[in-house]
Amino acid sequence: MTNIEVNTAMKLRTGKRHLREGIKNIFRNGWMTVASIGAVTTTLILVGAFLALMLNLNQMADNIEDDVEIKVLIDLTANESQIKSLGEDIKNIDEVASVKFSSKDEELENLIESMGEEGESWQLFEQDNPLNHAYIIKAEDPVDTIDIANEIKGFEAVQEVNYGKDVVQKLFQFNEYARTIGLVLIAGLVFTAIFLISNTIKITIMARSREIGIMKLVGATNGFIRWPFFIEGLLLGVFGSIIPIAAIIVGYYYLENTLGDKISLSFVELLPFNPFAWQLSLIILAIGAFIGVWGSVMSVRKFLKV
């Protein structure tokens, strides 16, 4: 064998040794392992439930915001070239995502359709349509709606700009608050989780600080000592996320099937089980693995200075 082959073989079997030791430690530490997994489980259930709530609320807020559009009523006296140049001007606003021209006939059709049976009486106007041509505009980011509307007001051949001013303003404000609060809460929760779990793990490792000292005196490098702890932490995190993931999948499935039918407002719509529940599970697994490894490796670091 060449030197490189020998080195790779050595690394491979050392890796296998660390894996074996990490798994063995899970069993050697009995109740401490149970305590750590319990801490991970509890916090991940909280984080998971909260994430599900926040992401759904966020989605609803997005849905509402996506429905916001600006309708520019074009002055009745405007001629074709004025209408065209107005369209160009609107397109040139940076924050505008799309501009759609809607002729007065289309506008009337939409109106009749939206009014259902009552709309029939409007059919009389098909001969002499009193409505305006209109541009329907969507903003790149719905938050810019108000600014865009104000800018368009100053353009020529504009009769009126409609976007439900009061509602939109309050809505955006509310959504912004909701998102900020949610973000802060999630960050706080994850931080607390990390703190809690790393503390539990730290206690289990503290009990082993003497062992770490002994390993160092026998000639083990820091890396050699750290790897089994890394694997142990990873496993603790993964095991700790099993119950939360199961709870999320079952709970969300149940919620969607019962609640989903009762509430049928267009914007109050839960994120679909597939793929949302799976994505959330993956996030929970990742958070679990991360805090397990982080808590373990950070705690062991303290005892490596012998």
Partner 1 sequence: MIQMKDVYKTYANGVTALNGINIDIDQGEFVYIVGPSGAGKSTFIKLMYREVKQSKGTIVINNTDMSELKEKKVPFLRRNIGVIFQDFKLLPKLSVYENVAFALEVIEEAPRNIRKRVMDVLELVGLKNKARFIPDELSGGEQQRVSIARAIVNHPKIVIADEPTGNLDPETSLGIMKVFEEINSKGTTIIMATHSKDIVNTIKKRVIAVEDGLIVRDEHRGEYGYEA
Residue ranges binding partner 1 (CB under 8 A)? 10, 13-14, 17, 28, 211, 213-221, 224, 306
Q: Which is nearer to partner 1, 104 or 216 (CB)?
A: 216
Residue 219 CB, shortest distance to partner 1, in Å, is 4
Instruction: Decide: 195 and 291 in contact? Cβ < 8 Å.
Output: no
Report the 10 Å Cβ neighbour count for 215.
18
Residues ≥6 apart with Cβ < 8 Å to 263 = none
Residue 247 CB, shortest distance to partner 1, in Å, is 33
Residue 220 CB, shortest distance to partner 1, in Å, is 5
- Dihedral of the alpha carbons of 216, 234, 42, 184, in degrees to the nearest 10: 100
Q: Which is nearer to partner 1, 17 or 302 (CB)?
A: 17
In total, the chain counts a number of residues equal to 306
Question: Token pair 């041509």 is at which residue?
Answer: 133
Instruction: Decide: 43 and 250 in contact? Cβ < 8 Å.
Output: no
Q: Which is nearer to partner 1, 163 or 227 (CB)?
A: 227
H-type helices in 160-272, by residue range? 165-206, 209-217, 222-240, 242-262
Residue 291 CB, shortest distance to partner 1, in Å, is 25
Residue 229 CB, shortest distance to partner 1, in Å, is 14
Q: Which is nearer to partner 1, 116 or 219 (CB)?
A: 219
Q: Which residues pair with 101 in a beta bridge?
A: 135
Q: Which is nearer to partner 1, 176 or 211 (CB)?
A: 211
Q: Which is nearer to partner 1, 48 or 233 (CB)?
A: 233
Give the residue from 86, 21, 37 showing the smallest Cα distance to 244: 37
Phi-psi region of 30 (alpha: psi -120 to 50; beta: other; left: phi over 0): left
Residue 202 CB, shortest distance to partner 1, in Å, is 18
